[in-house]
Amino acid sequence: MKSLITFIALLAISCHGHSQNTPAGATRPNIIFILTDDMGFGDLSCYNGRYRTPNLDRMATEGIRFTSYYSAAPVCSPSRAGFLTGQSPARWKINNYLSDKKHNRDCEQDDFLSPAAPSVAKLFKAAGYATGHFGKWHMGGGRDVVNAPK
């Protein structure tokens, strides 16, 4: 857990988001969304957790905290699909974690999130933001899935 916290902290301080095509003098907020697996609300020191997380604490102090987000699912792939699309993951045939073709077929789900799905990244990009994803994707392209979009 400590290495995960360290990784996230290093990632957070190394990310410098910026917007494109912003009129002179206008500023837009940098938006950083951090999604972790198996992390409790009280794990960060800004919530009285036992781990020291000074960089995440600084982001929490200087930014906005959303403390009542409810995940669309208890496992990784559908929870990511729910956040990214703003819709039920089942709408995009992601009902469980995505893996190899047999597992996905047994779960009656697609092998990857459809490129046709709406996403917050697409909305931000259309609004002139530079967007990026770092870390675990887990939205398709499993071990034997060769037709996943790039």
Q: 3-class SS at 81?
A: helix
pLDDT value, residue 14: 46
pLDDT value, residue 87: 95
List the catalytic residue out of 18, 46, 133, 138.
138
Look up 138 and say whether it is catalytic: yes
Mean per-residue pLDDT, 118-136: 91
Q: 3-class SS at 19?
A: strand
pLDDT value, residue 93: 93
Model pLDDT for residues 4-29, shown as the tens digit of each residue:
454 444 444 444 444 455 566 678 88
When pLDDT is cut at 50, 70 and 90, the band that residue 62 belongs to is very high
pLDDT value, residue 78: 93
List the catalytic residue out of 76, 103, 107, 133.
76
Look up 76 and say whether it is catalytic: yes
What token pair was written down for 140? 């398709």
Cβ-contact 99, 142 below 8 angstroms: yes
User: pTM for the complete prediction?
Assistant: 0.71
